[in-house]
Chain A
Amino acid sequence: MDCLEFRRQLGTDPRSLDRAARDHLESCAFCADAHGRAQAFETRLASAMSVAVPEGLADRILLAQLTGERQRQRTGRSRVTWIALAAAACAVLALGVVRYSRPPVPGMALSDLVAAHVTGPEERSALLLRDPLPADTVRHAFADRGVTLASVPSNVAYVSECGIQKYRSVHMVMPENGVPVSVVYIVQQRAKASQDFHRNGLVGREVPMAQGTLVMLAQDSGRFDALEHTWRNAIEGSPDIAAGSR
């Protein structure tokens, strides 16, 4: 390889020289200088092209995908045929008759249902979210469920109005130091008393709060007291009027 050929290759792709070019580089001081200048120029280029990436971009993409997927599944469900609908309606009626003629199925307590929901494949991605949502997003989710928040706790990275079987809920994820806590408020279903529990390898706590129940799940219960206090203030307005305190 001569100098001209080397320079052409250097100008075309300075970072991947072939064997002949590398051999030439070792034998030609003039081209070695040019190679040094080219590498320095490439470093400048790479640095300049590496514009700052907006914080939380990946999380926003995952949230958009998750939301879209959930909507798609709902739409998909609505596209079943009339025959399937009729069959489903019959099944629902039959189940309804059976369900309301006897107590809830033992073992499927609220804590079971919430634990299954927050660790399910549809919701799992929410645990990865880190960026706090605007307070209005949280406020609106509760308002849609008929709950007016007195204040909005900070650091809610995910909020979704989820149906958990027959229960209407607001499902949130609140990360702190990269460790998320799933917080679910079940509206219009008030637990009789507070209780801590273990499900799916997680620890949980359910707390009666206003007309509903707050359920928290995490790897440990370290933040539960603080979160319970914060959410009681948010949902009930003041600790003084808290009902069903632990």
Chain B
Amino acid sequence: MTAPVSQDGNPRSSAGVSNRQQQFEALVRAHSSELYRYAYWLCGQDALAQDLVQETFLRAWRSLDGLRENVAAKAWLTTILRREHARLYERKPMPTTDITDLELCDTAPGPEHLGEDSVVRAAIAKLEEKYREPLVLQVLGGFSCAEIARQLDITEAAVMTQVFRARQKLKALLEGGEKEAVLYGLP
């Protein structure tokens, strides 16, 4: 007989309940939304983003013992997702449709595509991937430039340049002109 377990899913005692399973559930609950959004901005497709997140967590489950500290979980999961995304393209060359031609231009947009957000989303989608990805990691993931540099395997200075340029390009798309970059003589 196993230990008592509450029907709300919470263990009444830790005995008999897999700590590993509990840790995994906590990871999924805590990070699946954020990872989905990151995946969405990587691939631009809802279904593919969901597949990527699911595959990421299944891989994470298989190597969960390698996760020493929960505080590092987000970066660890993000790395797995990036690799899974790259692997997906290695396995099966995807059609090279531009992200702007995909769901962002849906003729029947949902509420999330309407208004101010849709304008900004269209502008983000127009960014080159090398600008968009570090920006998404910084704004959505809350990663520092140093952390992003480790994720993307580039220098911290390169990340700083890319996120700076990404913002300038977005402002140019949304407001017109690249005023500040020109004004301050930045790359």
Please, which residues of chain A bring their CB within 8 A of the CB of B36?
53-54, 57
B140 partner residues in chain A, CB cutoff 8 A: 46, 49-50
Contacts of A178 in B (CB 8 A): 8
Quick one: CB contact mask for B1-37 with A, threshold 8 Å, 1 for yes? 1111111110110001110010011001100110011
Chain B interface SS verdict (over half): helix
Q: Which of B2, B25, B144, B181 contacts A62 (CB 8 A)?
A: B25
Taking A12-B145, A64-B58, A65-B61 as contacts, is the C-beta distance between A179 and B7 under 8 angstroms? Answer: yes
Q: Is the CB of B21 within 8 A of A116?
A: no
Inter-subunit contact A48/B4 (CB<8 Å): no
Type the 1/0 row for B137-165, where 1 means its CB is closer than 8 Å to any CB of A: 01110001100000000000000100110
Q: Contacts A49-B41, A121-B16 known; A12 to B5 CB distance under 8 Å?
A: no
Contact of B28 among A16, A61, A217, A219 (CB under 8 A): A61
> B33 — which chain A residues lie within 8 A by C-beta?
53, 57-58
Contact B170–A52 (Cβ < 8 Å): no
Task: Tell me whether B58 and A182 are in contact (CB under 8 A).
Answer: no
Stretch at the interface among B67-75, B78-86, B89-97, B116-124: B116-124
A64-B54 CB under 8 A given contacts A51-B40, A112-B1: yes
Interface residues of A in 201-243 (CB under 8 A from B): 201-202, 217-219
- Whether A180 and B17, one on each chain, are in contact in the complex, defined by CB atoms closer than 8 angstroms, is no
- B18-A121 in contact (CB<8A): yes
A128–B9 CB distance below 8 A: yes
Question: With A and B bound together, what is the CA distance between A168 and B135 in angstroms?
Answer: 53
Q: Is the interface of A mostly helix, strand, loop or mixed?
A: helix
B21 touches A61 (CB 8 A): no
Would A44 and B139 count as touching, CB distance under 8 A?
no
**Contact A11-B167, Cβ < 8 Å, known A49-B140, A51-B37, A125-B21:** yes
Cβ of B110 within 8 Å of any chain A Cβ, yes or no, is yes
- Given the known interface contacts A12-B160, A12-B163, A219-B6, the answer about A60 and B54 at a Cβ–Cβ threshold of 8 Å is yes
- 18 extra interface residue pairs, beta carbon distance < 8 Å, beyond A8-B184, A54-B50, A58-B33: A13-B138, A45-B139, A47-B117, A48-B118, A49-B124, A49-B140, A53-B33, A53-B36, A54-B36, A58-B29, A61-B54, A65-B28, A65-B61, A119-B2, A121-B17, A124-B5, A179-B7, A200-B4
Where the two chains meet, the residues of B that have a C-beta atom closer than 8 Å to any C-beta of A are: 1-9, 11-12, 16-18, 21, 24-25, 28-29, 32-33, 36-37, 40-41, 46, 50, 53-54, 57-58, 61, 110, 112, 116-118, 120-121, 124, 135-136, 138-140, 144-145, 160, 163-164, 167-168, 170-171, 180-181, 184, 186
Sample (13) of A-B pairs whose CB atoms are under 8 Å apart: A13-B145, A13-B160, A47-B120, A49-B136, A57-B50, A62-B25, A116-B1, A121-B18, A127-B5, A181-B7, A217-B7, A218-B7, A219-B6
**Interface, chain A (partner B; CB < 8 A):** 4, 7-8, 11-13, 16, 41-42, 44-54, 57-58, 60-62, 64-65, 68-69, 112, 115-116, 119-121, 124-125, 127-128, 178-182, 200-202, 217-219
